[in-house]
Structure 1
Amino acid sequence: MAGHFRTQAPAASLPGQAFGRYPQFSGIMKPSRFEGEVQNLEVDGTIPHSIDGTFYRVMPDPQMVPFIEGDPWFNGDGNISAFRIHNGRCHFKQRYVRTEKFVRERQAQRALLGRYRNKYTDLVEFHVRSTANTNIFYFNGRLLACKEDSPAYAMDPVTLETIGLEDFCGQMPSLTFTAHPKLDPVTGELHCFGYEARGDGTPDVCYWTVSPDGQVKNVSWLVAPAVAMIHDFAVTDHWILFPLNCLTCDVERLKAGGEHWQWDPELPFYLGVMPRYGGNNSNVKWFQGPTAFPGHTANAHETADGNIVFDLAMAKDNIFVWWPDRDGNAPDPKSGACRTEMSRYTIDPRSKDLELPTPAVLGPDDCEFPRIDDRVSSKPHTTIFYLAMDPALDTNYQAIGHLVAGFAPYNAIGQLDVVTGGLAKYFPGRTHFVQEPVFIPRSKDASEGDGYVMAMVNNLSTMTSELHIVDTNDFTKAQAIIYLPMNLRIGLHGNWVDSQDLGLSKD
């Protein structure tokens, strides 16, 4: 073992210890740890026959009880769910990603990985620490199980068997790979980047593309103005946008056994704007605004006069309250300080003035996890679907609040028209907790936003999970509800893949 690793696990990591001693592993957050299949799930309503494909989602689902106190709930092993829908029926399959961590911990029969993104707290030395638990993305015949501190793991989209680390045939230029790659619907290119791209605590950012035939191109290296989280990014026809979160990393803190991230209230919000092809330190511009927490991006596009329109979820304070500032300060989530709004920046990329304009707020909700019709990615969009926390809805927060420790209690899905301001909401029920939505076009040639929204929902009255399908033309009720005979832990991200794109027959 390398000298900075522990030599003996504390008692809490030994077999037989209970997850329940940690609040983040209780209630609906209790680990599922299920692998297997369930055919012909129960359906209430009718699944349209035009919905033919697979919904993939990933959840952090620890197979072993951790030995780190207070580690965030999303440091668990990546467990992939696949809902195959065909001819109005739904079949379910779930398998863990066979990461190095997963395999070695199963052999040892105890937790070996330490604190979130801190290798100095591990019991053994890992070549790749990935838990592959943040996003599951389909590209070129493979599923990519992504976590932004490492390369993705490739999986078979039908069997869910792990193929191995995805380095794009040895071409991957960065040590890290984003959890949110972007697929250009016109060119078929996959846009990728990594931050801390030369290792923990480095300010380097690497951007590249992967062509439909698997060739890595357009490699660009940048040095960011801070070693900060860049969880998501955006792509337009001519520009790449990198929003830097005000959570920062310090190597000395890691070596002392501390957290990877710490909130910095003195750091401005930086937005890097770089040419889509051929970017470098000389032609990237770092626009600045007040300290903020940029969340997930909806989309970005260019206007006729060359400006960039960028829609994303934004908060004015640290919503990851488990990573406070250096003095231990973090906002109280119940105070409203963690409110996240759909925000729109309009930026002139040619401007010499690097002060960000005040963003426009697009809707009334405290919201996150925005999604669009992916067919218009990097082009003008009219509709954003998102998770909302709407206190006006009849949610029984008293009953469910203690069961969703460490996660915002989203109780509805919003359908926002960013042109007219029109807003419709789907409310699944008083004891229902909603996860990230995905959009499914009604047909290949349907107009933008015409189709169905699908989302995993936790029903806390039954402690089971459901898959809800809502028609965008009638957003107040479910078209179909698919019932699982178990509860799946809250996940992070997922994507819909049509059967034709998977190469599966619709017969």
Structure 2
Amino acid sequence: MASSAPQHFPDRPQFSDFMKPCRFEGEVRHLEVHGDLPNDIDGTFYRVMPDPQFPPFIENDPWFNGDGNVSAFRIKNGSVTFQQKYVRTEKFVREKEAGRALIGKYRNKFTDAVEFAVRSTANTNIVSFNNQLLALKEDSPPYAMDPETLETKGLYTFDGQLPSVTFTAHPKTDPVTGELICFGYEAKGDGTPDICYYTIGPGGDFTQTLWLVSPVCGMIHDFAVTQNWVLFPVMPQLCDLERMKQGGEHWQWSPETPFYIGVIPRYGAKSSDVKWFTYKNSFPGHTANAYEQNDGKIVFDLGLSDKNVFYWWPDAQGNSPDPATIHSQLTRFTVDPKAKEGSLPEPEVLHDGNSEFYRIDERFSGRKYRHSYFDLMDPRLGTDFPAIGPVMGGGYPPYNALAHHDGSTGETEVYFPGRTHLVQEPVFIPRAGSADEGDGYLLALVNNYRTMSSELHLLDCRDFSKARATILLPIRLRAGLHGNWVAN
């Protein structure tokens, strides 16, 4: 009997050309290196990409609904080893046994072919904590992996301490205390407005738990932590359980809903301590950093757009912006945590370019900082879009350069990787022996559409204009979401 499961991926941009699923596991040693790879770099760059094992039975499945496939680039003594392995989630294992896709729409369990205990794809971020890797998807608990072999250890609930059914894809590590600061939204299940905030000591013990209720059931993809405060930016992408039960999308853009920022004390807070501040309807992207001023006010830097960046989830009338018109800028809010709830003052645009995937020297996370690094789209740089457009495939908005913004001088340096290249999220690597902020290297995966393969570009932040080393991969890695550098 012929199978009704699709035997090939849909003929859609998110499954075509450079975005064709890779479905590769294995290891390649001694990658080709062009240029000078400094011997003082000793560690591993981990990143994860959505990479579906099987063609979906949802025809227009979004590109980030795929299985988490983790890459490890191990750099030591000027040599690079590449290793890649799927996270063995419940979804991955059961679909492998069935020989076909079993999961339905993005974060809609009512559209699945079978019932899952945990629906995670573990495809959004990969972080190091307590000598293991945690593969993260914000609708579920983490999956633990061995940092050396990339073998999946299993679902990780911190020895049963995890109080919520969800766990953020963007936990923050305090560089001084070693604490992991975390939260889960929709923390009591799909469609619930509950937020669970918790802190975890470096040994894995939970040190506090606090339950909150958001004004709306909206997406809280990233958040910010200072030495004394925690901030939750709520997107106007809202969930409705009844819509999901009817086979609809988990998220729907709400043009009537403001951008909310919830603020609580980092330590010793009660549920009643939360304050919800508002700004006009807009889309908060990834956080760069946050810190406290001498006057007690909080500086909060993040990407902000006046349009729905997740345009594939339109509003109730089906309206969504043309992707070419979406422009996200590095923006600074100043929040007075002692003020009454209400509207926030107009923010300051720190860099007016179209940017995202902000990273910093994480030794200054939650503290006053100077340097930020991010992806930038500047069509004036000379990218040959007529040549690469037909083979790009579809993913998140493309970025053609890496940028370094100096918050003290207001100046921005730009690295342009080439006319047939686009960049993915960078990571910062501190220079060995230096404690100075921003003294180090920037490493990013780069798509080469001429060779249809991937490269790693390493920049020395002392000379940001050119790559110090280019590391060639013999394969193509589709767009990923997030990753992190882990020093040896």
- Normalised to the residue count of structure 2, the TM-score between the two structures is 0.98
The verdict on how the C-alpha distance between 1:444 and 1:134 changes in structure 2, with shifts beyond 3 A counting, is farther
The within-5 A match list for 1:79-158 is 79-158=69-148
1:70 to 41, 60, 65: 60
The verdict on how the C-alpha distance between 1:20 and 1:481 changes in structure 2, with shifts beyond 3 A counting, is farther
Q: Distance in 2 between matches of 1:149 and 1:63?
A: 20
Which deviations, in whole Å up to 9, do the C-alpha atoms of 1:23-81 show, x marking residues without a partner?
21111101110000001000001110111000000000001000002111000000000
Q: Distance in 2 between matches of 1:169 and 1:215?
A: 9
Point out where structure 1 has 5 or more consecutive residues left out of the alignment. 1-8, 500-507
Taking only the aligned residue pairs, the percentage that are identical comes to 62
Secondary structure, in 3 states, of the residue corresponding to 2:91?
A: helix
The within-5 A match list for 1:173-212 is 173-212=163-202
Aligned partner of 1:418: which letter?
G
The within-5 A match list for 1:404-415 is 404-415=393-404
The within-5 A match list for 1:220-239 is 220-239=210-229
Residues 1:385 and 2:370 aligned together: no
Residues 1:433 and 2:407 aligned together: no
Q: Distance in 2 between matches of 1:439 and 1:397?
A: 28
Q: Distance in 2 between matches of 1:426 and 1:192?
A: 33
The within-5 A match list for 1:349-360 is 349-360=337-348
2:331 to 330, 343, 351: 343
Once the 2 structures are TM-superposed, how far is the Cα of residue 20 of structure 1 from its aligned partner?
5.0
Which deviations, in whole Å up to 9, do the C-alpha atoms of 1:448-475 show, x marking residues without a partner?
0011000000100000000010000111
Please tell me whether the aligned partners of residues 118 and 140 of structure 2 are also in contact (alpha carbons under 8 angstroms).
yes
Please tell me whether the aligned partners of residues 221 and 279 of structure 1 are also in contact (alpha carbons under 8 angstroms).
no
Q: Distance in 1 between matches of 2:242 and 2:77?
A: 56
Which deviations, in whole Å up to 9, do the C-alpha atoms of 1:77-102 show, x marking residues without a partner?
00000000000000010000000000
Residues 1:417 and 2:398 aligned together: no
Secondary structure, in 3 states, of the residue corresponding to 1:375?
A: helix
Q: Distance in 2 between matches of 1:320 and 1:43?
A: 36
Aligned partner of 1:274: which letter?
I
Aligned partner of 1:104: which letter?
R
Q: Distance in 2 between matches of 1:469 and 1:202?
A: 43
Residues 1:290 and 2:286 aligned together: no
Point out where structure 2 has 5 or more consecutive residues left out of the alignment. none
Please tell me whether the aligned partners of residues 401 and 409 of structure 1 are also in contact (alpha carbons under 8 angstroms).
no
**Range with bigger deviation, 345-354 or 478-487:** 345-354
Partner of 1:504: none
Secondary structure, in 3 states, of the residue corresponding to 1:63?
A: coil
Please tell me whether the aligned partners of residues 385 and 416 of structure 1 are also in contact (alpha carbons under 8 angstroms).
yes
Secondary structure, in 3 states, of the residue corresponding to 1:479?
A: strand
Q: Distance in 1 between matches of 2:176 and 2:38?
A: 27
Q: Distance in 2 between matches of 1:280 and 1:396?
A: 54
Q: Distance in 2 between matches of 1:119 and 1:204?
A: 19
Secondary structure, in 3 states, of the residue corresponding to 2:413?
A: strand
Once the 2 structures are TM-superposed, how far is the Cα of residue 400 of structure 1 from its aligned partner?
2.2
Residues 1:214 and 2:204 aligned together: yes
Partner of 2:350: 362
1:449 to 438, 442, 446: 438
The verdict on how the C-alpha distance between 1:483 and 1:378 changes in structure 2, with shifts beyond 3 A counting, is same
Q: Distance in 1 between matches of 2:261 and 2:436?
A: 32
Once the 2 structures are TM-superposed, how far is the Cα of residue 10 of structure 1 from its aligned partner?
8.6
Residues 1:162 and 2:162 aligned together: no
Q: Distance in 2 between matches of 1:394 and 1:317?
A: 26
Once the 2 structures are TM-superposed, how far is the Cα of residue 353 of structure 1 from its aligned partner?
4.9
Once the 2 structures are TM-superposed, how far is the Cα of residue 409 of structure 1 from its aligned partner?
1.2
Q: Distance in 2 between matches of 1:112 and 1:278?
A: 43
Once the 2 structures are TM-superposed, how far is the Cα of residue 281 of structure 1 from its aligned partner?
3.0
Which deviations, in whole Å up to 9, do the C-alpha atoms of 1:122-164 show, x marking residues without a partner?
0000000000000000010010000000001000000000001
Once the 2 structures are TM-superposed, how far is the Cα of residue 445 of structure 1 from its aligned partner?
3.0
- Normalised to the residue count of structure 1, the TM-score between the two structures is 0.95
Secondary structure, in 3 states, of the residue corresponding to 1:218?
A: strand
Q: Distance in 2 between matches of 1:251 and 1:400?
A: 40
**Range with bigger deviation, 396-405 or 314-323:** 396-405
Q: Distance in 2 between matches of 1:461 and 1:191?
A: 42
Once the 2 structures are TM-superposed, how far is the Cα of residue 295 of structure 1 from its aligned partner?
0.4
Q: Distance in 2 between matches of 1:10 and 1:67?
A: 12
Q: Distance in 2 between matches of 1:261 and 1:353?
A: 26
CA RMSD of aligned residues (A): 1.1
Secondary structure, in 3 states, of the residue corresponding to 1:74?
A: helix
**Range with bigger deviation, 393-402 or 84-93:** 393-402
2:23 to 33, 36, 43: 33
Partner of 1:312: 302
Secondary structure, in 3 states, of the residue corresponding to 2:386?
A: helix
Please tell me whether the aligned partners of residues 100 and 128 of structure 1 are also in contact (alpha carbons under 8 angstroms).
yes
Partner of 1:481: 470
Total equivalences in the alignment: 486
The verdict on how the C-alpha distance between 1:75 and 1:10 changes in structure 2, with shifts beyond 3 A counting, is farther
Q: Distance in 2 between matches of 1:121 and 1:10?
A: 19
2:239 to 234, 238, 249: 249
Q: Distance in 2 between matches of 1:340 and 1:187?
A: 33
Once the 2 structures are TM-superposed, how far is the Cα of residue 444 of structure 1 from its aligned partner?
4.3
Once the 2 structures are TM-superposed, how far is the Cα of residue 306 of structure 1 from its aligned partner?
0.5
Secondary structure, in 3 states, of the residue corresponding to 1:443?
A: coil
Which deviations, in whole Å up to 9, do the C-alpha atoms of 1:367-419 show, x marking residues without a partner?
00000000000000101000000111010112223424232110000000012
Runs of 4+ residues over 3 Å off in structure 1:
none
**Range with bigger deviation, 357-366 or 196-205:** 357-366
